[in-house]
Amino acid sequence: MPILNLPDADGTMRAHTMRDPVPLAPAVTPFNRIVYSAAHVVADPYADIDPWLGVTLDFDATLAYRRHLLSLGFGIAEAMDTAQRGMGLGWPEAQTLIRASLEATRDIPGALIACGCGTDHLDPASARGLDDVIRAYEQQIEFIENLGGSIILMASRALAACAESPDDYLRVYSRLLEQVRQPVILHWLGEMFDPALAGYWGHADHAAAMDTCLDVIAAAPDKVDGIKVSLLDKDKEIAMRRRLPPGVRMYTGDDFNYPELIDGDEQGYSHALLGIFDTIAPVAATALSALTQGDRTGYHALLEPTVPLSRHIFKAPTRFYKTGVVFMAYLNGHQDHFLMVGGQQSARSLLHFSELFRLADAAGLFHDPDDAAARMRRYLAVSGVPEA
């Protein structure tokens, strides 16, 4: 097996011998959980733009990856934070991406595509009040619904900036839910993912915020398919899951504790809408197949080894997790380069990527170890690391 020289935090080099990939059986679908993968985008490395200011996507590679995820049994959470929404990908680019993704997957029977809908075309500093926030949401809702897409109602930086009380959140969400055509997935994105969303639902305390969010859902349960909770706290998610009205799903967004939360307990379980599924999709699909067939031991044996990698990718500052997701896509041959929208490939360090490589290999996630090693060597070479 390949051997690489990887740097350690103490400044020394340590030889790393790669392992064989995890043997995977074909996925048995549909799964007994609804599982969305929030999918990343591939930048066009040949675009003549300032990468901090302009955005040009490689749509062939971006859409091919979505078809790959769908082929494994996942739904696609499109134009979400994993796609760098609000961190390089603005609403104009998101519109093009949503339209392209929906059109490129219409030939796939049963393809689940849920689209991120927010207010990111409204500068929070220029929002004059709640009506501006509502109108911004309505514009994106109209665009997505006119394309036949389903909606993930994303948290709004503009709402967080201008809301003065929990009642303001109730007003905004009630207005939106009463007019959507189909049930939506709500999204509670914690401040660890986006500091601008601190105090969402009108409270800095998550328990009090949960009460407001549950009030929103209770007022219109027929308009809420479910809620994605991204707080990286399994106890808070479980507590909220047990309080949801019948028929409203919990979609875990906890990239630290997903095996346990998806498996569930005697009082229920979580479905999933996860960024880490972009990175671990083949192994996760096999694990979910095992769970569907009642093999909980096999499910955990496959999925638990991926957790250290996920915790590393999503470590603080958590908002830079997209960099690790795209690096893994590069290492596994899904794209030919490691360049990102907004120049975000520079958001993590050489040591971070070296540990990511070790953890991904320990979980058996490289389907072609020789190719992954060659790609890692190219990255290490431009970073000044000598060959083993």
pLDDT in the model for residue 131:
96
Residue 108's SS3 state is coil
DSSP string, 333-383: TSSS----GGGGGGGS-HHHHHHHHHHHHHTT--SSHHHHHHHHHHHHHHT
Query: Which sequence spans correspond to the domains of the chain?
Result: 31-342
pLDDT in the model for residue 127:
86
* Domain 31-342 top-level CATH class: alpha beta
Q: What is the pLDDT of residues 322-360, one digit of tens each?
A: 999 999 999 999 999 999 999 999 999 999 999 999 999
DSSP string, 65-104: HHHHHHHTT-EEEETSGGGTBTTTB-HHHHHHHHHHHHHH
- All residues at 6 or more sequence positions from 185 whose CB lies less than 8 Å from its CB, including other chains: 114, 150, 151, 152, 153, 224, 225, 226, 227, 228, 251, 273
Q: What is the pLDDT of residues 377-388, one digit of tens each?
A: 999 999 988 776
Count of helix runs (H) and strand runs (E) in the chain: 14, 10
Supply 125's token pair: 């500093």
61: exposed, middle or buried (Cβ count in 10 Å: 0-12, 13-18, 19+): middle
Nearest-CA neighbor of 101 among 57, 136, 141, 138?
A: 57
Q: What is the pTM of this model?
A: 0.95
Beta bridge partners of 186: 153, 227
β-strands 224-230, 75-78 pairing: unpaired
- 151/51 Cα distance (integer angstroms): 29
Torsion of CA 357, 301, 244, 83, to 10 degrees: 20
pLDDT in the model for residue 388:
63
Supply 171's token pair: 């007003």
- Would you call the peptide bond into 30 cis, given omega within 30 degrees of 0 as the criterion? yes
- 227/378 Cα distance (integer angstroms): 41
- 86/84 Cα distance (integer angstroms): 6
β-strands 224-230, 184-189 pairing: parallel
- 95/89 Cα distance (integer angstroms): 10
Beta strand residue intervals within the chain, DSSP E: 3-7, 13-17, 35-38, 75-78, 113-117, 150-153, 184-189, 224-230, 249-252, 271-274
pLDDT in the model for residue 386:
79
Q: What is the pLDDT of residues 169-186, one digit of tens each?
A: 999 999 999 999 999 999
Beta bridge partners of 7: 13
Q: Contact, 161 vs 127, CB < 8 A? A: yes
What string of pLDDT tens digits covers the 388 residues of the chain? 899 999 998 888 999 999 999 999 888 889 999 999 999 999 999 999 998 889 999 999 999 999 999 999 999 999 999 999 999 999 999 999 999 999 999 999 999 999 999 999 999 988 889 999 999 999 999 999 999 999 999 999 999 999 999 999 999 999 999 999 999 999 999 999 999 999 999 999 999 999 999 999 999 999 999 999 999 999 999 999 999 999 999 999 999 999 999 999 999 999 999 999 999 999 999 999 999 999 999 999 999 999 999 999 999 999 999 999 999 999 999 999 999 999 999 999 999 999 999 999 999 999 999 999 999 999 999 998 877 6
